[in-house]
């Protein structure tokens, strides 16, 4: 599977961002009713969309450097670790910067999840001929 063209990649990233964000919006609204957490404000929703979008594009940039291998195995595991560990660190820094030390949103996990899901948009080309 060849790498997507830039226009297709932009559309795929927007689609992936909206999909992850809608899931997270539903999760936080359900958490409000189930566990009595604070209802997400419009500002919270903007922060979630921005963090997801940044995470997806970090994953795409990582995928350009190290595309997802076609076969499963150790390379995929190592690649995932090489992406998610720094993404968690960047996500923690974003969380402290955006929401302070105390927060009701897991911005760092959202960022790392979005980076991991975004990195799967670019795969290695198969060598079968």
Residues 28, 37 contacting (CB under 8 angstroms): yes
Q: What is the pTM of this model?
A: 0.89
pLDDT digits (tens, 9 = 90+) for 4-18: 788 889 999 999 999
> pLDDT-derived band of residue 33, with 50, 70 and 90 as boundaries?
very high
CB 1 within 8 Å of CB 120:
no
Helix and strand numbers (H, E) in the chain are: 4, 0
Distance CA 28, CA 22 (A): 10
């Amino acid at each position: 599977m060849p790498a997507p063209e830039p226009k297709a990649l932009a559309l795929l990233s927007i689609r992936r961002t909206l999909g992850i964000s809608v899931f997270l919006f539903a999760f936080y609204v359900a958490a409000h009713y189930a566990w009595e957490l604070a209802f997400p404000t419009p500002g919270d929703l903007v922060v979630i969309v921005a963090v997801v979008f940044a995470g997806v594009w970090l994953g795409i940039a990582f995928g350009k450097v190290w595309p997802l291998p076609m076969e499963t195995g150790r390379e995929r595991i190592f690649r995932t670790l090489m992406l998610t560990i720094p993404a968690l660190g960047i996500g923690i820094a974003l969380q402290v910067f955006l929401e302070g030390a105390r927060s009701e949103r897991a911005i760092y996990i959202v960022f790392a999840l979005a980076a991991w899901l975004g990195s799967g948009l670019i795969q290695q080309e198969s060598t079968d001929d």
